[in-house]
Structure 1
Amino acid sequence: MTEIGVVGAGAAAAAAAYVVDGAVPDASITVLEKSGGLCGRAATRRRDGVTYDYGANYIKDDDDRVLDLLDRFDDGLVEVEGGIDVFDRTGEVSDGRDDQERKFTYETGLTRLAKHLFGATDATVHRRTRVEGIARTDDAWVLTDADGERWGPFDVLVLNPPAPQTAALLETADWEHEARENLLDAVRDVEYRTIWTAVLGYPFELDTPYYALVNTDKEHAVGWISREECKPGHVPEGESVLIVQANHEWSVERYDADPEANVADLAAHAAAIVGDDRLTDPAWTDHQGWRYALPEGGLRRGVRDAAEDAGLYCLGDWVAGEARVHAALRNGLETGERLVYNL
């Protein structure tokens, strides 16, 4: 029996578990996830008949392997309707590109894909279990959670948290190996953009031709606005739900500010950009701060290989160096295949 421990239940971890479970019959996979959900920043919430993806917005049509994965798990898969237009620092909207990619989610939200992938394996997922310690003893990995419970021993350890949280685990790891310091330095080098998100619900339909608006010059307080009603099954007819994501600078400055004030400010910006004053007064709201939202770098391959030779694998969109769900999924598939090969 090969024991595999996984920290984090993000999209990449789900894809890797799917590959390993299918290729290594005697593998036992234990996943420890700090939150109550699956799929990491590809997150979904529901309320009063509304479903909304409030982190990552969709899976991009940009990778044949990921599309093949979606074909295998197409129960509830839907294509987002409408294109993406752009706006500048003044809030002026203009047409987007003509050659826009297809965009996918699920009727029940992006988290459905991770549920599909983990559900197709014998992996055991323990939610609300925060890993705080890593130790390498007697050629095996042992994890310690926030309650002091020990997990393992594991033959292989897979780390899926964002780079800063992975670095925090490596900093305190009881692991004497030259690969540790090189890996830690490389992980620390991966920088992130922060995003503060407001979710705005309205009891009326918007008359706009686009699915989303993106700020291309990155000089507006808002970086992204999208309409969840463009995703089949997400919003009841006659209603609208906007996902409004602030840019990095605004998000860092206002991250710990009063949430109600943040939401009101982003609603006012959305109203001005879309050109509809009604948007300043949503019927209901939600919000989420993503301190580690968009990685701006990747993990150097030589550092990655040395750690994997020692039985420790890092995966996620930050390893791939591309802040997209499809990049996380592809990285999970590729990492899972290397893990299988090494086993």
Structure 2
Amino acid sequence: MFDVAIVGAGVAGLTVGQQLRQAGYGVVVVEKSRGVGGRVATRRLHHTRADHGLRYLEEKGELLQGLVKILSDRQILKLWTDKISLSPDSQITTNCYVAPEGMSAVAKFLAKGLEIRLNHRVESISVNNQDCWQLNFAAVNDELPASLLAKALVVAIPAPQALMLLESLVSQEVLGRLGAIEFEPCITVMAGYSSSCRCDRSEKAILFSQNDNLAWIGLDSSKRLNSEAPVFVIQSSAKFAQLYLDAQDLQPAARELLASAAKHFIPWLDNPEFFQVHRWRYAFPSRPLSEMFLDAQTSLPLICCGDWCGGNLVESALQSGLSTAQRINSQLQNLPLPGANFLNCL
């Protein structure tokens, strides 16, 4: 039996977990994927890696400033660029920090010391006869436990997924609030090129605000310490991703994005040596919750949180995690929490 079970190992879920673990609670984080971080994601491919989710971190917000400073001091982050190009001819000035080992290093830092069970997809949740939450997992193999028990539950996943998981557990009012949260999708292409390809343009990244297909192109290999050949990450607009939201084959979408990148940025981008494609169904909250968390107000503690609470940035996820931990703590033993200082203990 755990004090708190957290579903989802994104930034918000990891922040809740660290707050409560450092206060002395018994905490477990369960995650359906093979790694932590959610959209703070890095893909290994062809002897290199590419950030196909979160592009970079900016010093926007007090919590994020603290995180960037600590990660920079520990040489996990470095300054990547101080300008982002806008299509076609203008630029914005902003300090962008990246991890040479991949942005997933940020999530791995936040996950330090936590008990995390990867490849654990929660199939259903119920209240058992010991008056606690029971999380039941989809069968993967005989070695994994079928369920676990916890006194309190945090659901730190996108609101549409939380809605499906909690449909039989919470009130119609809570379901309505979850159902009102809206997300925009995104398709990401990671493409590698011959070392003979040269980038004559100085931009490391370009942001497209008025393009039907493209939202972002970044020279991802410039984030790495010893990159021998260019690797680009291309992210689609929400409008484009909607066209392929339920497509089983994303190769045509990738080819179309590569063609658009070649047209609007560098001509040889439509001829990669290799590429991979990933679909983010819940990439960016377009209609977030105004509060920092959603208390389901059930008989046992149950809180929903994430970057869709209070905004749609990493700062929102951090703040949502802190606020959720405070609420869970008040419903349990009311132990002293580390607050934003939890980063210094990692």
TM-score calculated relative to the size of structure 1: 0.86
- In structure 2, the residue matched to 1:222 is 214
Work out the CA distance in 2 between the residues paired with 1:291 and 1:85.
26
Judged with a 3 Å threshold, the aligned counterparts in structure 2 of structure 1 residues 286 and 180 are, in CA distance, closer, same or farther, namely: same
Taking only the aligned residue pairs, the percentage that are identical comes to: 27
Judged with a 3 Å threshold, the aligned counterparts in structure 2 of structure 1 residues 33 and 249 are, in CA distance, closer, same or farther, namely: same
Cα drift, residue 301 of structure 1: 3.5
- In structure 2, the residue matched to 1:143 is 135
Q: Is the 8 A contact 1:49 1:236 kept in 2?
A: no
Determine whether 1:105 maps to 2:103.
no
Cα drift, residue 229 of structure 1: 2.7
Judged with a 3 Å threshold, the aligned counterparts in structure 2 of structure 1 residues 206 and 186 are, in CA distance, closer, same or farther, namely: same
Q: Is the 8 A contact 1:78 1:232 kept in 2?
A: no
- Letter aligned with residue 314 of structure 1: C
Judged with a 3 Å threshold, the aligned counterparts in structure 2 of structure 1 residues 273 and 53 are, in CA distance, closer, same or farther, namely: same
1:1-343 paired onto structure 2 within 5 Å: 3-23=3-23, 25=24, 27-73=25-71, 74-87=74-87, 93-97=88-92, 100-119=93-112, 121=113, 123-137=114-128, 138-147=130-139, 150-171=146-167, 173=168, 175=169, 180-203=171-194, 204-217=197-210, 219-233=211-225, 236-237=227-228, 239-255=229-245, 256=247, 258-274=249-265, 276-301=266-291, 304-305=294-295, 307=297, 310-322=300-312, 324-343=313-332
The superposition leaves residues 17-56 of structure 1 with CA deviations (integer Å, 9 ceiling, x where unpaired) of 1111112x2x111111111011001110122342211012
Cα drift, residue 142 of structure 1: 0.8
Work out the CA distance in 2 between the residues paired with 1:191 and 1:224.
21
Work out the CA distance in 2 between the residues paired with 1:289 and 1:57.
15
Cα drift, residue 292 of structure 1: 1.2
Work out the CA distance in 1 between the residues paired with 2:133 and 2:252.
45
Structure 2: runs of 5 or more not aligned:
333-346
Cα drift, residue 325 of structure 1: 2.5
TM-score calculated relative to the size of structure 2: 0.85
Q: Is the 8 A contact 2:292 2:309 kept in 1?
A: no
- Letter aligned with residue 77 of structure 1: L
Cα drift, residue 157 of structure 1: 0.3
Cα drift, residue 278 of structure 1: 1.4
The superposition leaves residues 203-231 of structure 1 with CA deviations (integer Å, 9 ceiling, x where unpaired) of 233122222222223x4211111111332
Cα drift, residue 69 of structure 1: 2.7
Partner SS, residue 139 of structure 1 = coil
- In structure 2, the residue matched to 1:90 is none
Q: Is the 8 A contact 2:309 2:316 kept in 1?
A: no
Work out the CA distance in 2 between the residues paired with 1:35 and 1:127.
6
Cα drift, residue 2 of structure 1: 5.8
Q: Is the 8 A contact 1:156 1:311 kept in 2?
A: yes
Q: Is the 8 A contact 2:151 2:301 kept in 1?
A: yes
Cα drift, residue 72 of structure 1: 3.3
Q: Is the 8 A contact 1:44 1:109 kept in 2?
A: yes
Q: Is the 8 A contact 2:77 2:98 kept in 1?
A: yes
Which segment is superposed worse, 301-310 or 153-162?
A: 301-310
Judged with a 3 Å threshold, the aligned counterparts in structure 2 of structure 1 residues 180 and 152 are, in CA distance, closer, same or farther, namely: farther
The superposition leaves residues 115-170 of structure 1 with CA deviations (integer Å, 9 ceiling, x where unpaired) of 11221x3x311111100111124531111111295433211101111111010001
RMSD: 2.3
Q: Is the 8 A contact 1:132 1:145 kept in 2?
A: yes
Q: Is the 8 A contact 2:162 2:178 kept in 1?
A: yes
- Letter aligned with residue 277 of structure 1: P
Q: Is the 8 A contact 1:60 1:325 kept in 2?
A: no
